[in-house]
Amino acid sequence: MVNQRADVGWQSSKSDSSGVSNSGESSKESSRCSTPVQDADRTDRLRDKMKRRIESGDHWFSLEFFPPRTASGAVNLISRFDRMGSGGPLFIDVTWHPAGDPGSDKETSSMMIASTAVNYCGLESVLHLTCCNQTKEKITAHLNKAKRLGLKNIMALRGDPIGEDWVEEDGGFNYATDLVKHIRCECDDYFDICVAGYPTGHPEAESYDEDLRHLKEKVDAGAHFIVTQLFFRAETFLKFVKDCRAIGITCPILPGIFPIQGYHSLRQLVKLSKLEVPEEIMQVIEPIKDNDAAIRSYGIQQAVEMCKVLLASGEVPGLHFYTLNREVATIEVLRQLGLWAEDPRRPLPWAVSAHPKRKVEDVRPIFWASRPKSYIYRTQDWDDFPNGRWGNSSSPAFGELTDYYLFYLKSKSPKEALLQMWGEELMNEESVYEVFTNYITGQTNPSGHKVMCLPWNDDPLAPETNLLKDELEKVNCRGVLTINSQPNINGKPSSDPIVGWGPAGGYVFQKAYLEFFTSSENVTALLQVLKKYEPRVNYHIVNVQGKNITNAHEMQPNAVTWGIFPGREIIQPTVVDPVSFMYWKDEAFALWIEQWAKLYEDESPSRMIIQYIHDNYFLINLVDNDFPLDSCLWQVIEDMFTLLDSPPETQEEGTF
């Protein structure tokens, strides 16, 4: 039920047209590989990705977001990043609003949102930065912080001056050009720099030509590409590109696309950006201004048509979308243009982080499959990934996860919704079994609500786990409370829509895996049953106190997902690692309390039931090493139930 791989930043198969998939790049630089490592900065900079896509004629898109106003807005935006990331944007960008404390550590700051997109959603991200009324020291501090957080791209803007009339400051930042120069001066060539272009001229510029000259200055100062202000006619943009080229601007120029999504938002945006909406558009929307659906539909149609002209012109390598933090219209436009990656190819079975230092990461323990952001958070202080997963080569050092309410780990559901799903009042342990079972089956519970998430899984069942639905239902309703599983796979093509990952032409494999909580009574029977499955099945059985029963004689990782690809070394991205299981166990047990028990009053029966499970149940993982055969793990559980159902004299004394 875990392996919520719908989650998080898959890269489109188009994301690198050089024929080198991300997975390949990752593998190339891992400790598993012999080839001399190329200078990382040279191959994975945004400018280089653009260059490769332009050379291969492979169009891309990018998405602009603004920071949310509230913490719950931040949670929603992050899960939107995950969803929209799956369509394969080349990058996203996050705007900067000086009044909103954009460089702070608040969960709603531009800095934090962009950092989360990079680190936890695996998205190439551009952080906006404005320089108007800012000291050099302050800007330098922002740049250093961005660098530290793994951000690699800056959109350098002047920003709007505070107050009505703007006066040039001596030695201050008066133009975006000054900021571009400052970035290059302070950070050398570290950042890829984007600047803004105005297809109809900047509203404050003396003239269109004067504005073009300013743009040329920004590029000459060291900008790598241009994103334009929105516009409504393809020819506006195409003339602008022609004029830019004429004065010697050679970098990529990306059109800013704004799908009209409502009458009022259009008017407001136009007012802010001092643009005029063309007559032919006003004529269409004025009559339908109160029909939101009609306007959205028109907006999509208008954007699609304009984009088609732009792409057909040969002047446009990629489209930049002003999303207004909404999904529907932009995704629909991209779908109609054929740019949305309907079947994103995953470079690895889990979401790769975009932080530069995690590029070499190519192995993770399976335990965090549904909580990748927690895993990234707890390993964020690792200096390198010599084996793809350890902070240093001899032992793992996991960060504490004491704050279960880090905004990017928060449940998308509010407390009321959780109570409706998991029960306002629990009667006994069986009530808990029912919650698990309803999560698996997707059926509504007695109070009429579907269980859409569990403390260990914030999303519905993954497609892969769905393959195991019947078996999972059977065991959960008897108190084998599954929180992670994968079927065995004996060589499916890497292009398989459900279980595939990695470069084309490869084969992927899995060992069957099952992880669950269950009572100590069940564990006694299970241990007796497991003797029959030696050495086929490896197991680790722990309780919250850390009592650990295992048949893994050495503390070696067991590879449970691997792939074989043309012209490459073997990639083994998922392991059952005994050492990190002990860290995961703390987190998995704590989720009972932090996410579930605490929904109820102190001393309430419901809370005490969860507390009892937390204190007395065991967490078990099982691996069936015989991946070419049908998984025996269901039979193991079946045998356990049979033994429990049999007369007591046939049962051995429990020995643990």
Query: Minimum distance between the CB of residue 9 and its own copies, rounded to whole angstroms?
Result: 24
- Distance (Å) of CA 357 to CA 33, 151, 400: 17, 11, 20
Judged by CB under 8 A, the residue of 396, 423, 479, 500 near its own copies is 396
Angle, alpha carbons 91-97-101 (nearest 5°): 110
Asked if 291 and 284 touch (Cβ cutoff 8 Å), the reply is: no
Identify which of residues 368 and 627 has a Cβ nearer to its own copies in the complex.
627
Q: How far is CA 30 from CA 26, 351, 361, 369, 533, in A?
A: 6, 16, 7, 21, 35
Query: Residues in contact with its own copies, total (CB under 8 A)?
Result: 54
CA dist 86 and 122 (Å) reads 10
Q: Which is nearer to its own copies, 35 or 283 (CB)?
A: 35
Does 514 interact with its own copies (rule: CB under 8 A)?
A: no
Residue bearing tokens 């807005």: 73
- Stretch in the footprint of its own copies (CB under 8 A) among 225-233, 276-284, 575-583, 605-613: 575-583
DSSP 8-state code for residue 531 = G
User: For 304-332, b where at least 16 C-beta lie within 10 A, e where not — what string?
Assistant: bebbeebbeeebbbbbbbbbbebeebbbb
* Among 278, 414, 505, 605, contact with its own copies (rule: CB under 8 A): 505
Q: Is 390 in the site for its own copies (CB under 8 A)?
A: yes
The answer to whether residues 12 and 341 touch, using CB atoms and an 8 Å cutoff, is yes
Q: Which of 9, 24, 318, 502 binds its own copies (CB under 8 A)?
A: 24
The residue among 394 and 545 lying less far from its own copies, judged by its C-beta, is 394
Catalytic position from the list 25, 29, 64, 515: 64
* Two structure tokens written together for 539: 């197991």
Nearer to its own copies, 111 or 489 (CB): 489
Amino acid letter for position 176 = A
Of the candidates 280, 327, 247, 349, the one whose C-alpha atom is nearest the C-alpha of residue 3 is: 349
Stretch that binds its own copies, among 119-127, 241-249, 295-303, 560-568 (CB under 8 A): 560-568
| DSSP letter, residue 31 | T
Is 387 a residue that touches its own copies (CB under 8 A)?
Answer: yes
**SS3 letters for 592-626?**
HHHHHHHHCCCCCHHHHHHHHHHHHCEEEEEEECC
**Binding residue (CB under 8 A) for its own copies from 10, 65, 173, 565:** 565
The Cα angle at residue 510 between residues 363 and 479, in degrees rounded to 5: 100
* Cα 393 from Cα 208, distance rounded (Å): 58
Q: Does 654 bind its own copies (CB under 8 A)?
A: no
Report the side by side order of strands in the sheet with 512-518: 481-486, 512-518, 618-624, 537-543, 548-550
515 noted as active-site residue: no
Please check whether residue 75 is in contact with residue 120, taking contact to mean a CB–CB distance below 8 angstroms.
Answer: no
Distance CA 537, CA 552 (A): 10
Q: Which stretch binds its own copies (CB under 8 A): 148-156, 178-186, 386-394, 517-525?
A: 386-394
Among 52-60, 102-110, 143-151, 573-581, which window interacts with its own copies (CB under 8 A)? 573-581
Question: Distance between CA 1 and CA 559 in Å, rounded?
Answer: 19
39 lines the binding site for its own copies (CB under 8 A) = no
Interface with its own copies includes 36 (CB under 8 A)? yes
| Cβ atoms 561, 380 nearer than 8 A | no
Q: Residue from 171, 567, 647, 648 that binds its own copies (CB under 8 A)?
A: 567
CB of 584 to its own copies, least distance (A): 15
Q: Which two tokens stand for residue 83?
A: 């969803």
Q: Note whether 22 binds its own copies by CB under 8 A.
A: no
How many residues are recorded in the chain? 656
Query: Which part of the chain contacts its own copies (CB under 8 A), choosing from 117-125, 170-178, 388-396, 470-478?
Result: 388-396
Amino acid occupying residue 612: Y
Q: Looking at this protein, which amino acid is placed at residue 195?
A: V
Among 556, 642, 646, 651, binds its own copies (CB under 8 A): 556
Name which position in 250, 283, 395, 655 contacts its own copies (CB under 8 A).
395
Amino acid at 144: N
The answer to whether residue 490 forms part of the interface with its own copies (CB under 8 A) is: yes
Residue 117 identity: A
Q: Does 570 bind its own copies (CB under 8 A)?
A: yes
Q: Is residue 626 involved in binding its own copies (CB under 8 A)?
A: yes
How many angstroms separate the CA atoms of 32 and 20, rounded? 18
**Which residues, numbered 148-167, are part of the site for its own copies (CB under 8 A)?**
none
**Smaller CB distance to its own copies: residue 26 or 261?**
26
Pairing status of strand 225-230 against strand 489-493: unpaired
Q: Least distance in Å: CB of 196 to its own copies?
A: 37
Contact stretch for its own copies (CB under 8 A) within 73-81, 151-159, 241-249, 551-559: 551-559
Q: Of 296 and 364, which CB lies nearer to its own copies in the complex structure?
A: 364
Q: Which of 486, 558, 595, 631 is the binder for its own copies (CB under 8 A)?
A: 558
d(CA 605, CA 592): 15
Return the SS3 of 490: strand
Q: Please check whether residue 503 is in contact with residue 565, taking contact to mean a CB–CB distance below 8 angstroms.
A: yes
Min separation Cβ 513 and its own copies, Å:
13
Residue numbers 343-372 binding its own copies by CB under 8 A: 363
Per rule CB under 8 A, is residue 499 in the interface with its own copies? no
Q: Which is nearer to its own copies, 39 or 601 (CB)?
A: 39
Contact predicate 8/119, CB 8 Å: no
Stretch that binds its own copies, among 56-64, 285-293, 520-528, 563-571 (CB under 8 A): 563-571
Q: Could you say whether residue 28 binds its own copies (CB under 8 A)?
A: yes
Under the binding rule (CB under 8 A), the answer on residue 655 touching its own copies is: no
Of 172, 535, 546, 654, the one binding its own copies by CB under 8 A: 535
Applying CB under 8 A, among 156, 219, 575, 620 the residue interacting with its own copies is 575
Q: How far apart are CA 501 and CA 347, in angstroms?
A: 6
Q: Is residue 622 a contact point for its own copies (CB under 8 A)?
A: no
Residues that bind its own copies (CB under 8 A): 19-20, 24, 27-28, 31-37, 363, 386-387, 389-390, 394-396, 490-491, 504-505, 507, 509, 535-536, 538, 552-559, 562, 564-570, 572, 575, 577, 579, 623, 625-628
Q: Which residues are catalytic, by number?
A: 64
